[in-house]
Structure 1
Amino acid sequence: MGNFLFLAMAIGLVALIVAYLLDLAISRASAGNARMQEIAGYISEGSMAFLNREYKYLFVFVAVVAAIIAGFIGFETAVCFVAGAIFSILAGYFGMRVATIANVRTAEAARHGMSEALKIAFSGGAVMGLAVVGLGILGLAIAFMVFKGDTNIITGFGLGASSIALFARVGGGIYTKAADVGADLVGKVEAGIPEDDPRNPAVIADNVGDNVGDVAGMGADLFESYVGAIISALTLGAIVYKGGEGAIFTFALVAAGIVASVIGIVFARNMKTSNPQQALNMGTYIGGTLVIAAAAYLSTTIFGDFKAFYAIAAGLVVGMMIGKITEIYTSGDYGYVKKIAQQSETGPATTIISGLAVGMYSTLWPMVCICAGVLISFFAMGGAQDVGMGLFGIALAAVGMLSTTGLTVAVDAYGPIADNAGGIAEMSELPPSVREITDKLDSVGNTTAAIGKGFAIGSAALTALALFASYAQIVGLNTIDLLNPLTLVGLFIGATLPFVFGAMTMESVGKAAFEMIEEVRRQFREIPGLLEGKGTPDYRKCVDISTAAALHEMMLPGILAIAAPLVMGMLFGAEALGGMLGGALAAGVLVAILMANAGGAWDNAKKYIESGAHGGKGSNAHKAAVVGDTVGDPFKDTSGPAMNILVKLMTIVSLVFAPVIAQYGGVLTHLFK
């Protein structure tokens, strides 16, 4: 076992070293002229200021929760919790710092062609991806070694990662959408000025939001999924394999996934092509193929058969299928988005109706894929004869889906960097050819971001299910009785929570956006010559509005996600909490898919019209599509992604506090006897 842990740590360090080398390569590239560097400086300053202020809030939160865990669970679990939080913070910090230096260099590289711009943008995303997996496996391997494989303690690491992920996703999502909505509604719709126009006071806040929401927030989200999947596999593997084979296999598979991701990143980064989608697809296919080969070898070497391989392959295939389905529902190359664009000719109402219908339809096939993955992985590992082994198979499917997380995050994080590059090109008045390249990169980035969101949802479902199985094993639940009124109440309350959580985050965006809209209007009204390009907007004021609103509004949803399972478990017992987790998982995944795909479809319907369809920019259809995109922004970038973390955070809170709930939970159940 020790050799495998050292190997895992070594591979984690290799990932971080490669990330550092990519960082150096990006830093050495030209940052363009003085105007470009000035604008990039505003974006970097706003991004890092937000992170620093957010981390001050989170420091207090982490200290309070660590004290509670130390008092009720144990000091070692509290140490793991703090470590998980710190590693998650570091991953987000490293990734966003590099993103804010890669954006201006991507814009400058676009002067010299598509391949050069893609290389810089993708390298920036790769730093985020490799930081996520490198810190994830390094932290877990160290915790596993220090605490001698006690998974009850190591779950604290996952709780720390989940807690930071929730606040990073919700806070970053509120920030970016408040700025985006304010910039679009006042700038594009009311004032009639282009996107990323330097006259718009909210334009810097909008570009900052791309970094804090879509880079740091997304990275924290997948860091949490990655860590959670590994922990669930370690927990269930320890139950079914007393000799440690389950842990050895899990760490070996994760290490192989990191190696495959590095190789895929190198291929995609160095591919000379005018089609960025082709390069990204090539890297993804290479990484996935290598993991499949490694899984087959490890399965036969460690377990002596192909059962684990089938479970892992099921997870990988499900992830790819969900990504493709997401693309079909959200890409302008397919009929669903074109139909929304057509509906926009009759006004915003039909745009909203059509987009919601697409979002609702889009829930079916991803759920079918998830269900197929669960059944295949469960029965492939012998779940019909041994339920514990079948549950371990589901955990392996989640690990399989997330094994190439380094590559997935790289592909996803490259999009916001390209988007920022386009904004810098526009504000710096670079030649139209530069903006054409950055727009193409951004367009592909929108598709990869939508696919990444679908991937995150699928991995969240499998990870939460595997963590749920771990919780059930610890509290001794072999079955959950839906005819038990306490369990049924838990189910209904759990199914309600994603809607309440979604409403809270949507309302938070609305409040922050209202402040942003009023400020942009004020500046247009009061700063002489601003709309004529003769005045200078107060960018910092808009950045401050988004920052303050995001930090204030993120606290209540975060507290709800942590408190709800504890209250249910302590008041009504372990089985009622099991019902709550089941209800939250089912409803949360469906709401997440609906919101992510409806938002992505509205966004690309607007871009499809902007390409010249249905009257093009400035037409009535375009104005309606902008309204649809504005509604979809908090759907796809705030509330939808936060659902993934909600279901995982509730489950891992339950898992960490499972011993306390099993012993002391259900204080009110005697009233029902």
Structure 2
Amino acid sequence: MACGVLAVVYGLVTHSRILSGDPGNERMQEIAHAIQQGTSAYLARQYRIIGIIGFVLFVITIFLPGLEFSTAIGFLVGAVLSGACGFIGMNVSVRANVRTAQAASNSMQSALDVAFRGGAITGMPVAGLGLLGVAVFYLVLTYFDLSCSRVIISLIVGGLVPCLFGAMAMEATGRAAGAVVLEVRRQFREIAGIMNGSAKPRYDRAVDMLASAAIREMIAPSLLPVVVPVLVGLLLGPAAPGGVLMGTIVTGLFVAISVTTGGGAWDNAKKYIENGHFGGKGSDAHKAAVTGDTVGDPYKAGRARYGNKTSCGNCD
């Protein structure tokens, strides 16, 4: 619980420090506002659909044979905390981008400092609220017995979930990204003046379309962290989903760190080459870096999705 509290406090302090930074000149703020507009459209679409699905699953969990009411409460608490993490992480990240760019005009160290704190906002609240939610839930409603063999088995199962979920999420991200290319090409064809700056693209249209495609593609991966605890609970008893939860949090935290830093490294490598190093744009090194970045982008896109939270009942 103490680690969870520290992670949340760190996130709040870092959030304040980031927003107090210089957002840059008027043109930079205009671009940042367009990005924030797209982010708002994406979150509105995603949370509207996810909220409906979450409520249906909550009701199903209440009446599902073999599970206790506390399981449904744990699911609800975890869903709310997970949604809060996504909302906070997304909003802070888009605001950190423009401040990172402005900081880069002063020094590389300043830019890296802002970028690191902006990325930490995504990871730390996920881990902190996850640990805090689990600790409080079990202190109030149940206990967690590691001497129970079924809990140990469920720990192993939970540890495997983030890896499978990550693979499915990254494939879904790649397919959804293809829809963006088609929408961008359509806007270039149909909206005259985009290239010369006399007309603005329909950012909200593109983001809403992307959000719809992303949600559609994420149905199968999203069912995985919901179905696995339920099946484990039905097969191994009401305490087993708690093992799945703990295994998922522990493994998912390190997987999230790995894909965040790995995806960022691929992205930064491409930008480094585009600045003239190792042959610059058009070189073989640049072609290889672009290929690597096609993996790095889904890595970064899926980094905040590893904080799935569900809960369980008592061990017999």
TM-score, normalized by length of structure 1? 0.36
The alignment of Structure 1 onto Structure 2 pairs a total of residues equal to 299
Over 3 Å counting, the alpha-carbon distance change for 1:489 and 1:563 in structure 2 is same
Over 3 Å counting, the alpha-carbon distance change for 1:40 and 1:574 in structure 2 is closer
Measure the CA separation in 1 of the matches of 2:274 and 2:136: 45
Measure the CA separation in 2 of the matches of 1:594 and 1:44: 26
Paired residues of 2:154 and 2:240 also in contact (CA < 8 A)? yes
C-alpha displacement at 1:530, in angstroms?
5.3
Q: Which of 207, 214, 239 does residue 543 from structure 1 map onto?
A: 207
Paired residues of 1:610 and 1:617 also in contact (CA < 8 A)? yes
C-alpha displacement at 1:469, in angstroms?
10
Residue 232 of structure 2 is aligned to residue 568 of structure 1 = yes
Q: Which of 32, 45, 51 does residue 53 from structure 1 map onto?
A: 45
C-alpha displacement at 1:502, in angstroms?
0.9
Q: In the TM superposition, what whole-angstrom CA distance separates every residue of 1:487-532 from its partner, at most 9, and x where no partner exists? A: 6764553333222211221122112101112233444566667556
C-alpha displacement at 1:620, in angstroms?
3.4
Measure the CA separation in 1 of the matches of 2:50 and 2:243: 30
User: What is residue 161 of structure 1 aligned with on the other side?
Assistant: 80
Over 3 Å counting, the alpha-carbon distance change for 1:567 and 1:156 in structure 2 is closer
Which of these two proteins has the greater Rg computed from alpha carbons? 1
User: What is residue 508 of structure 1 aligned with on the other side?
Assistant: 172
C-alpha displacement at 1:467, in angstroms?
3.8
Measure the CA separation in 2 of the matches of 1:476 and 1:160: 21
Paired residues of 1:418 and 1:438 also in contact (CA < 8 A)? no
C-alpha displacement at 1:541, in angstroms?
3.4
Measure the CA separation in 2 of the matches of 1:524 and 1:544: 17
Matches within 5 A, 1:537-616: 537-574=201-238, 576-577=240-241, 580-581=244-245, 583-585=247-249, 587-616=251-280
User: What is residue 474 of structure 1 aligned with on the other side?
Assistant: 142
Matches within 5 A, 1:386-397: none
SS in 1 for 2:272: helix
Paired residues of 2:32 and 2:95 also in contact (CA < 8 A)? no
Matches within 5 A, 1:101-180: 158-165=77-84, 168=86
Q: Which of 62, 81, 90 does residue 215 from structure 1 map onto?
A: 90
The alignment's C-alpha RMSD in Å is 4.8
Measure the CA separation in 1 of the matches of 2:60 and 2:241: 20
Q: Which of 69, 73, 79 does residue 69 from structure 2 map onto?
A: 73
Percent identity over paired residues: 33
Paired residues of 1:418 and 1:441 also in contact (CA < 8 A)? no
Measure the CA separation in 1 of the matches of 2:43 and 2:282: 36
C-alpha displacement at 1:414, in angstroms?
5.5
Q: Which of 416, 427, 448 does residue 97 from structure 2 map onto?
A: 416
User: What is residue 5 of structure 2 aligned with on the other side?
Assistant: none
Residue 158 of structure 2 is aligned to residue 494 of structure 1 = yes
C-alpha displacement at 1:561, in angstroms?
1.8
Measure the CA separation in 2 of the matches of 1:63 and 1:594: 32
Over 3 Å counting, the alpha-carbon distance change for 1:639 and 1:480 in structure 2 is farther
SS in 1 for 2:105: helix
Paired residues of 1:490 and 1:579 also in contact (CA < 8 A)? yes
Measure the CA separation in 1 of the matches of 2:191 and 2:216: 29
C-alpha displacement at 1:47, in angstroms?
3.1
TM-score, normalized by length of structure 2? 0.68
Paired residues of 1:512 and 1:545 also in contact (CA < 8 A)? no
Measure the CA separation in 2 of the matches of 1:626 and 1:439: 23
Measure the CA separation in 2 of the matches of 1:558 and 1:580: 16
User: What is residue 519 of structure 1 aligned with on the other side?
Assistant: 183
SS in 2 for 1:479: coil
Matches within 5 A, 1:234-383: none
Measure the CA separation in 1 of the matches of 2:41 and 2:199: 25
SS in 1 for 2:235: helix
Measure the CA separation in 1 of the matches of 2:247 and 2:302: 18
Measure the CA separation in 1 of the matches of 2:163 and 2:36: 34
C-alpha displacement at 1:562, in angstroms?
2.9
User: What is residue 301 of structure 2 aligned with on the other side?
Assistant: 638
Higher RCO (Cα < 8 Å, 6 or more apart): 2
Measure the CA separation in 2 of the matches of 1:37 and 1:605: 26
